[in-house]
Amino acid sequence: MKQTIRQFALSLGIDDVGFAAVADYNSPRSPKIETISPDIKSIIVLVYKELSSCASADKDIAMSGRQALYDFARTTNYRVARYLESQYHANTFPVPPAQPFAMLKETGGAVGQVSLRHAAKAAGLGVFGRHNLIIHPRFGTRVLFSAVLTDLDLLSDPPLTDELCNDCNLCVEECPARALDEEGKTDVNKCFRTCQPYGLGGNIAFWKNVLAASPEEQKRMMGSVEYWRLYQSILVGNQYYCFNCLSVCPIGTET
Ligand code: B12
């Protein structure tokens, strides 16, 4: 069954596929998978190679490559889930590559229902590198994931044990937020503020300033580039302005 599902997923243009039994998924800081449905037994993790545009100095172009990947992943999540439902009468629960995820006060909103990095690791698709991202054995760091959870009982693929990070430290040095200085931990607040300057934090700060400003100043602020960028960010989804830890990594040359 795994082979048939894998072949179907690859035929859609997905770059790689891995399987993890829920018992092998270990993400201590994530919500329990049972909260989505107590019937879930397996995670099918889908891998997408990031486009080379992620290294562009033009962050709108870099982001548009990312948006194209997100759109494709949302479609393939549906196609794989629909395949499992029609072929095997399975129940399915797609996990998106990005939003939406739970907005909880305790987590500051920044925790997905399923940690795709930990799911990818459990599915034998890669190992953590110094940047706290998963490195895929063929495609390296520049991969993203989505997943389909299912009540089908599928065995985990063999875990990868190879060390893939070469400790070059480029991701640490090129992080403008210094969010990777402490090994094994991403300083989420530092990363957030820098990679999403027009995300939730930037948005709240802008409107706080508007509320405190004089009517003339408020008019000026509505005509500012900062407001236009905030508006665009809300309109088209979260806007990343930094891809450094991905794009500087020398691991993974396969296209
Ligand atoms: C919210 C979010 C963010 C937030 C906060 C992330 C967070 N909590 O760590 C912010 C905005 C900061 C962020 C930043 C980025 N993100 Co992000 N993010 C997510 C999202 C939606 C949820 C993350 C989550 O819930 N994590 C679970 C929590 C509980 O994780 P955690 O336990 O804190 O995990 C950390 C530690 O446990 C540690 N860790 C765990 N085990 C081990 C083992 C070893 C040996 C080591 C060293 C570390 C380690 O590593 C983790 C990172 O801090 C996921 C998609 C998803 N649903 O998973 C994408 C995701 C993690 N992001 C991704 C990417 C690419 C990025 C960015 C590069 C942004 C960009 N421009 O693309 C940066 C990278 C930052 C970095 N180097 O760590 C990819 C990662 C792909 C990959 N190859 O691994 C994901 C999986 C999205 C996807 N569809 O593929 N992200």
How many whole angstroms from 85 Cα to the centroid of ligand 1? 29
Closest protein CA for atom 1 of ligand 1: 110
Minimum-distance ligand 1 atom for the alpha carbon of 127: 45
Q: Is 147 helix (H, G, I), strand (E, B) or coil?
A: strand
Ligand 1 mutation pick, 32, 33, 133, 141, max ligand atoms within 8 A of CB: 133
Per-residue confidence in pLDDT tens, the chain, 255 aa: 999 999 999 999 999 999 999 999 999 989 999 999 999 999 999 999 999 999 999 999 999 999 999 999 999 999 999 999 999 999 999 999 998 888 888 777 778 999 999 999 999 999 999 999 999 999 999 999 999 999 999 999 999 999 999 999 999 999 999 999 999 999 999 999 999 999 988 999 999 999 999 999 999 999 999 999 999 999 988 789 999 999 999 998 777
Ligand 1 mutation pick, 48, 72, 113, 116, max ligand atoms within 8 A of CB: 116
Interatomic CA distance for residues 142 and 130, integer angstroms: 14
How many whole angstroms from 217 Cα to the centroid of ligand 1? 38
Please return the burial class of 17, using the count of CB atoms within 10 Å of its CB with bins 0-12, 13-18 and 19+. buried
Q: Please choose, from the candidates 127, 125, 114, 116, the residue with its C-alpha nearest in 3D space to the C-alpha of residue 162.
A: 127
Looking at the chain, list the stretches that DSSP marks H as alpha helix, in order from N- to C-terminal side: 2-11, 59-88, 116-122, 170-173, 188-195, 200-212, 215-222, 225-236, 244-247
Please return the burial class of 33, using the count of CB atoms within 10 Å of its CB with bins 0-12, 13-18 and 19+. buried
On whether the CB atoms of residues 244 and 174 are closer than 8 A, the answer is yes
Interatomic CA distance for residues 240 and 181, integer angstroms: 21
Give me the pLDDT at residue 241, please: 93
How many whole angstroms from 8 Cα to the centroid of ligand 1? 28
What does the radius of gyration of the chain's CA atoms come to, in whole angstroms? Answer: 20
**Residues near ligand 1 with C-beta < 6 Å?**
27, 29-30, 97-98, 101, 110-112, 114-117, 128, 131-134, 141, 143-145, 184-186, 188, 191-192, 195-196, 240, 242-243, 245-246
Q: Please choose, from the candidates 146, 125, 243, 151, the residue with its C-alpha nearest in 3D space to the C-alpha of residue 194.
A: 243
Give me the pLDDT at residue 111, please: 86
How many whole angstroms from 110 Cα to the centroid of ligand 1? 9
Interatomic CA distance for residues 184 and 124, integer angstroms: 20
Q: Give the predicted TM-score (pTM) of the model.
A: 0.94
Q: Which residue has the tokens 């739970």?
A: 102
Measured between alpha carbons, how far is residue 252 from residues 105, 175, 248 in Å?
A: 37, 19, 11
Give me the pLDDT at residue 104, please: 81
130 Cβ neighbours under 8 A, 6+ residues apart = 165, 167, 169, 171, 172, 180, 183
How many whole angstroms from 116 Cα to the centroid of ligand 1? 8
